[in-house]
């Protein structure tokens, strides 16, 4: 069912129109009735006057020359006088010739006067042609009739009507002024109320509804004030809830983005960290692949996910787009998995490298065992050579396993927090290595200040030992290793310098990687595991420090642990 829209009018217009219509109807009615009453009253008066006049004149009718008397009496010309005989014949008339006039016995007023007493009538006269009022009274020999033109009443009536119109006009004006004043009195507070309601609707919740002197308007004002307070408290709780959700989403380690239609309606700060700026429109979201994931999720109504590579340095983002059922919105969750993927890759490489490293000595042992078996029957003097080979491979295998165990222990636990005298450890490790160094014709020189650090003694000892062992291992006979330790710029610096082979520049940035060796074809006697420096770096970084290396081929190397 359709309703016609209501037309809107201003209060003043409505009141004025209603007033004008009512007033006009009332005035038409009053005018009509008033006019009727006035006419009736006037004509009653006229008839009474004419009757009195007729009665007094009837006594004065002369016995003869009646026509002359009639003309004399009506000399002023306002009234007409007619004398009628008992049979209705006109004896005299002030306006016409009685001889020409017909019998008047059937005229209502004459008929009444001849039979009942006094008669009157108002009608158009046959003689004059105008509307006349007639009054007839009986006389001794017939009747006397006095008549006057109806128009004699009109002048008085017109005067009455003019006065009535004047009074109506004045009361109309007074009424309109009153309506205007009332409207003004009402519409002022109403307009203020409506302004306040509009302001509140626009969010100005500090606005108080004005108080007026009209009870009904004040009731609306009070209701508005109550509604405003209710609205404010609801807005507060909605705002608090929104803030809580914002905090919650901001605290999530995942970037979130809510897309509605073509607009980005929400994004949390984690996302803003991973996508620099978050635009307002979906078409501006980068990387662009996110847009196609959103479209895909929307069209198929299912969750879609993908890894995206972006930025310099390159980062890997794992993006999941989920359609929000029913709302047509799509929730995008972005996780920066760069580190995770890197660790995964490293782990895969590490397993592959470790397997390869372990396979080499095992293969060598197996081959040597075969050789031993054959040599034991054909040339027993060579058996010892092969068992030596087996022993060396087994020792290499054992070193790899022991280094791997060290690494895995270091990775799985945080270093202890003990007071460690680093100078003592350096001295002990240098002394321990001195025999091996002596055998290789290398001199060890130590110069350390007393150094106290907080950390794990076994781990720091392992790091120092690896550096000293490397320095001895990669230094030819006649060379020297110098270990120093001291404080500088608020830090502890331990350096192990040698006059050994040195390392080519291009290898320097990789030697701390696991299983990285500079020269694979190196003599098996000094073949390391490739894990020593990786262990050193891990220990130093776990203690909040860093490692540095300076080296020149053929001159020597300096390794520094800065804690």
Closer residue to ligand ADP (CB): 323 or 485: 485
Closer residue to ligand ADP (CB): 415 or 532: 532
**Contact pick of 83, 113, 410, 533 for ligand ADP (by CB under 6 A):** 533
Give 449-490 as a 3 state SS string. CCCEEEECHHHHHHHHHHHHHHHHHCCCCCCEEEEEEEEECC
Residue 557 binds to ligand ADP (criterion: CB under 6 A):
yes
- Residues in region 440-499 near ligand ADP by CB under 6 A: 470-471, 474, 498
Closest among 299, 230, 290 to 257, alpha carbons compared: 290
**Total number of residues binding ligand ADP (CB under 6 A)?**
21
Length of the chain: 563
- Shortest CB 472 distance to ligand ADP, Å: 8
- Shortest CB 443 distance to ligand ADP, Å: 15
- Shortest CB 466 distance to ligand ADP, Å: 6
Residue 493 CB contacts under 8 Å (≥ 6 apart), including other chains: 485, 486, 487, 560, 561, 562, 563
- The residue of the chain with the least Cβ separation from ligand ADP equals 528
Q: State the DSSP code for 176.
A: H
- Shortest CB 390 distance to ligand ADP, Å: 21
**Contact pick of 323, 415, 500, 545 for ligand ADP (by CB under 6 A):** 500
- Rounded Cα–Cα distance for residues 394 and 371 (Å): 16
Closer residue to ligand ADP (CB): 318 or 440: 440
- Rounded Cα–Cα distance for residues 393 and 401 (Å): 12
Closer residue to ligand ADP (CB): 281 or 510: 510
**Contact pick of 133, 530, 539, 547 for ligand ADP (by CB under 6 A):** 530
Closest among 439, 443, 559 to 502, alpha carbons compared: 559
**Contact pick of 503, 539, 540, 561 for ligand ADP (by CB under 6 A):** 503
Q: DSSP characters for 333-366?
A: EEEE-HHHHHHHHHHHHHHHHHHHHHHHHHHHHH
- Rounded Cα–Cα distance for residues 52 and 426 (Å): 160
User: Which segment (193-201, 431-439, 449-457, 509-517) binds ligand ADP by CB under 6 A?
Assistant: 509-517
Q: DSSP characters for 5-67?
A: PPPP--HHHHHHHHHHHHHHHHHHHHHHHHHHHHHHHHHHHHHHHHHHHHHHHHTT--SS-HH
- Rounded Cα–Cα distance for residues 548 and 560 (Å): 5
User: Which segment (236-244, 382-390, 433-441, 501-509) binds ligand ADP by CB under 6 A?
Assistant: 501-509
Residue 73, classed as helix, strand or coil, is: helix
- Shortest CB 261 distance to ligand ADP, Å: 58
The structure tokens 């799509």 sit at 330
- Rounded Cα–Cα distance for residues 270 and 285 (Å): 15
Residue 163, classed as helix, strand or coil, is: helix
User: Which segment (124-132, 419-427, 444-452, 522-530) binds ligand ADP by CB under 6 A?
Assistant: 522-530
**Contact pick of 518, 539, 540, 547 for ligand ADP (by CB under 6 A):** 518
**Contact pick of 98, 142, 528, 545 for ligand ADP (by CB under 6 A):** 528
**Contact pick of 517, 537, 538, 543 for ligand ADP (by CB under 6 A):** 517
- Shortest CB 239 distance to ligand ADP, Å: 59
Closer residue to ligand ADP (CB): 321 or 531: 531
Query: How far is residue 497 from each of residues 34, 468, 474, measured CA to CA in Å?
Result: 134, 9, 11
Q: Which residues make up the interface to ligand ADP (CB under 6 A)?
A: 470-471, 474, 498, 500-503, 511, 516-519, 528-534, 557
């Amino acid at each position: 069912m359709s309703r016609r829209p209501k037309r809107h009018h201003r209060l003043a217009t409505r009141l004025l129109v209603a007033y004008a219509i009512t007033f006009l109807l009332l005035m038409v009615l009053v005018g009509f009735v008033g006019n009727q009453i006035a006419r009736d009253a006037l004509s009653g008066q006229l008839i009474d006057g004419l009757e009195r006049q007729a009665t007094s004149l009837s006594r004065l009718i002369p016995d003869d020359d009646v026509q002359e008397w009639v003309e004399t009496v009506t000399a002023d010309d306002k009234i007409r006088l007619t004398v009628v005989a008992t049979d209705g014949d006109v004896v005299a008339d002030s306006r016409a010739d009685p001889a020409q006039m017909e019998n008047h016995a059937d005229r209502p007023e004459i008929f009444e006067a001849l039979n009942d007493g006094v008669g009157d009538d108002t009608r158009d006269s046959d003689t004059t042609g105008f509307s006349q009022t007639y009054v007839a009274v009986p006389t001794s020999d017939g009747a006397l009739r006095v008549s006057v033109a109806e128009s004699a009443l009109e002048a008085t009536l017109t005067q009455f009507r003019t006065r009535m119109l004047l009074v109506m006009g004045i009361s109309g004006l007074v009424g309109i002024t009153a309506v205007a004043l009332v409207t003004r009195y009402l519409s002022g507070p109403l307009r203020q109320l409506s302004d306040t309601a509009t302001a509140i609707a626009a969010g100005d919740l500090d606005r108080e509804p004005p108080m007026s002197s009209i009870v009904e308007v004040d009731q609306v004002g009070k209701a508005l004030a109550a509604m405003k307070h209710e609205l404010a408290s609801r807005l507060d709780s909605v705002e608090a809830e929104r803030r809580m959700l914002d905090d919650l989403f901001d605290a999530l380690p995942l970037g979130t983005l809510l897309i509605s239609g073509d607009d980005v309606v929400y994004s949390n700060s984690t996302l803003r960290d991973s996508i620099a700026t978050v635009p307002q429109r979906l078409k501006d979201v980068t990387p662009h692949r996110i847009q196609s994931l959103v479209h895909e999720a929307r069209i198929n109504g299912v969750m879609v996910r993908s890894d995206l590579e972006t930025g310099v340095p390159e980062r890997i983002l794992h993006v999941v787009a989920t359609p929000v059922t029913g709302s047509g919105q799509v929730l995008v969750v972005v996780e920066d998995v760069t580190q995770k993927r890197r660790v995964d890759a490293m782990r895969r490489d590490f397993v592959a490298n470790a397997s390869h490293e372990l396979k080499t000595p095992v293969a060598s042992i197996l081959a040597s065992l075969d050789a031993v078996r054959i040599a034991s029957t054909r040339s027993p003097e060579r058996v010892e050579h092969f068992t030596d080979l087996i022993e060396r491979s087994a020792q290499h295998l054992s070193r790899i396993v022991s280094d791997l165990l060290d690494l895995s222990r270091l990775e799985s636990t945080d270093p202890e927090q003990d007071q460690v005298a680093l100078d003592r450890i350096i001295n002990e490790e240098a002394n321990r290595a001195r025999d091996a160094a002596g055998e290789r014709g290398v001199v060890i020189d130590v110069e350390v200040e007393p150094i106290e650090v907080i950390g794990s003694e076994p781990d720091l000892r392992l790091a120092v030992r690896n550096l000293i062992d490397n320095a001895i291992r990669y230094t030819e006979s006649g060379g020297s290793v110098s270990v120093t330790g001291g404080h500088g710029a608020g830090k502890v610096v331990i350096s192990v310098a040698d006059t050994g082979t040195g390392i080519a520049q291009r290898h320097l940035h990789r030697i701390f990687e696991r299983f990285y060796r500079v020269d694979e074809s190196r003599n098996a006697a000094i073949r390391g595991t490739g894990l020593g420096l990786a262990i050193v770096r891990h220990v130093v970084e776990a203690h909040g420090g860093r490692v540095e290396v300076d080296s020149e081929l053929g001159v020597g190397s300096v390794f520094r642990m800065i804690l």
